[in-house]
Amino acid sequence: MRRHGLRLVGRPATSRTGTLGGAGCWPTLVSSPSVGSGRVSQPHHLLYSSASRPVGSPFSSFLKEAQQQAAAAAAATPAPSLAPSAATAEENSSESLPNSPSSPSSAPVAPGVMLVEESMIPEYDLIVIGSGPAGQKAAIQSSKLGKRVALVDDGAWLGGICLNTGTIPSKTLREAILYLSGFKQRFFYGKSYTAKENWNFSDLTYRVQSVIKREKEVIMNQITRNHVTHVRGRGSFWDANTILVSDSHGTKGKLRGKHILVACGTRPAHDPNIPCDGKYIFDADQILNLSEMPRNLIVVGAGVVGIEYAAMLGSLANTQVTVIDQRPELLEFVDREIVDNLVFHMREARGKFRLGEKVKNVKVDEARKRVIAELESGKRVIGDSLLYAVGRQCNSDSLNLAAAGLTADARGRLRVNEHYQTAVPHIYAAGDVIGFPSLASSSMLQGRLAVCHMWGQQCARVQPSLIPYGIYSIPEISMVGQTEHELTKNNIPYEYGIARYSEIAKGMMIGDETGGMLKILFHQETRKVLGVHAIGESATEIIHIGQAALAMGATIDYFTNNVFNFPTFAEAYQVAALDGYNKIMA
């Protein structure tokens, strides 16, 4: 039964008066945990909101009514054993967290807000704010350790930016473009080849929405299966141990946690001179709302997000893309030879670059259905759509950090130590809110590591140098380890070997036109692998072979002295290693 209150899914919190959880104005009644298991058997969710009672009614009247309905529900459903386990008895007798301030019961209450007895605020071992990759993995890992966990997130954004507007949608869009445009078949069947006649942008977004829907179901099943309580609403700090949750109907309530993990994610940064209207001017969260395929797309910002969308949409036969960035070089952290390859391919697809240029202002010409970007140099760039992809801002500004004794930097990022603890030791942070590298993969790991430290679990740590990076442009790029620039800067003698897709059988089979290649950097004297860089089909897949080689301290001899499946892209490692070996033996 659901009303306007926040929906709680999964394991009940243990309040100070038993297993009846009362979160603000939405008490949730569940059947008692099975003996000794700490798990919930057949929960009954009886949800209430302030809309169901007169404004200002005391909470005790809700409790009495809730108890009556719970009794009726219990009579209709076989109840599990109510005998408390030793663990439950210990929890109920343990010292509770400090009370947070509360209003006296006689005080007037604003519409949509109900009074709460402090003793009825549900308590959790861990409250996670945000359900993106970091939040999901932290919540599930903590639950697997037998902890009571609440995951606070607006239900509409379950999965965070990663699932709703970021990683999953953009990579699915890429796959749809590659398939429908016939991009991979052009070498053999000509540039006019397409998988479907007269397809449009809605065909692309149909695939995107289908994947998002299925992924949301997977995440919800994981949360429920692992007995994580999902609280639908927006969370902010009431104090260092208490989270105030509010939903879109104005319903509010509190949760109390021994530990808090902030994984609130980010949103696109905006420039007041570039108003993102979702019609002509889009940010990265809005770009999938395009109603039709742009013929001339302006991309402001040549970071990873900007380059990915520019390369994706620029690969369409009838779309020309102009990339504008105030930096003189693209993707400074990527191997220069790899970047040069990408730029060459994008220019072959009629792409243009305006580097070292800054956008001063953007105007929309409604009559001619076009957008005009005015640069500080005096140039004007005209298109029918503009994507603004210059940086991201953390969502921590809505968390009332000061109430918890926390501060953020100008971009909303929280500073953490090597264990992902903030300045307040029982409050942790993970994911994009702590900044670089801001990857879904690294965020998942950060969430798990934070929880392991939180609960005193031993957990192997991953070296930052072993984290692979993937850029899902067309062609895609991936890298792990050091670049030539870094090795030169650190005075490390190195050599490299290259395998080009045009030289291996698999590359010929797929008709590679992107100049795909794999480069191995290795020490001149020891032949130890120092870095691997790839561009082309399956680059983000085969990079993990290089990651494993780096992790075990392998030399290029591993690749020259072992057998690889043939024909595969993995064969590129052997070809590159032999190329490098020939250079040092010459």
Instruction: Kindly report, residue by residue over 544-558, the tens digit of the pLDDT.
Output: 999 999 999 999 999
Strand, helix or coil for residue 234: strand
* Strands 229-232 and 149-153, sheet pairing: parallel
What distance in Å separates the CA atoms of residue 476 and residue 186, rounded to the nearest whole number? 17
Query: Is this structure's pTM higher than 0.85?
Result: no
Orientation angle between helical segments 304-314 and 167-180, nearest 10 degrees = 20
Average model confidence (pLDDT) for the chain? 84
Q: 452-500: per-residue pLDDT in tens?
A: 999 999 888 888 999 999 999 999 999 999 999 999 999 999 999 999 9
* Strands 477-481 and 529-535, sheet pairing: antiparallel
pLDDT at 85: 37
Q: 158-170: per-residue pLDDT in tens?
A: 899 999 999 999 9
Residue ranges of the domains in the chain?
A: 281-390, 475-585
Indicate the fold that domain 475-585 takes in CATH: Enolase-like; domain 1 (3.30.390)
What distance in Å separates the CA atoms of residue 492 and residue 514, rounded to the nearest whole number? 31
| Nearest of 458, 473, 532, 471 to residue 498 by alpha carbon | 532
What distance in Å separates the CA atoms of residue 230 and residue 219, rounded to the nearest whole number? 11
What distance in Å separates the CA atoms of residue 262 and residue 131, rounded to the nearest whole number? 10
Under-50 pLDDT residues of the chain: 1-67, 69-70, 74, 77-116
The gap from C-alpha 152 to its chain's centroid, in whole angstroms, comes to 16
Strand, helix or coil for residue 344: helix
Q: Write the DSSP symbol of residue 497.
A: E
Long-range contacts of 434-443 (CB under 8 A, 24+ apart): 435/411, 437/464, 437/467, 437/469, 438/266, 438/392, 439/467, 439/469, 440/132, 440/133, 440/162, 440/166, 440/167, 441/133, 441/467, 441/468, 442/467, 443/132, 443/133, 443/134, 443/137, 443/162, 443/263
Q: Write the DSSP symbol of residue 32.
A: P
Give one DSSP letter per residue of 239-271, joined into a string. Answer: ETTEEEEE-TTS-EEEEEEEEEEE---EEE--B
pLDDT at 117: 56
Q: Write the DSSP symbol of residue 366.
A: T
How far are the Cα atoms of 85, 293, 336, 474 from residue 350, in angstroms, in the given order? 69, 16, 21, 14
281-390 CATH choice from 3.40.50.1980, 3.50.50.60, 3.40.50.970, 3.20.20.140: 3.50.50.60
Tokens representing 191 are: 């540039």
The b-or-e profile of 239-254 (16+ CB within 10 A means b, else e) is: bbbbbbbbbeeebbbb
pLDDT at 52: 34
How far are the Cα atoms of 465, 490, 581 from residue 522, in angstroms, in the given order? 15, 14, 10
* Residues facing 500 on adjacent strands: 517
Orientation angle between helical segments 440-454 and 133-144, nearest 10 degrees = 30
What distance in Å separates the CA atoms of residue 351 and residue 510, rounded to the nearest whole number? 24
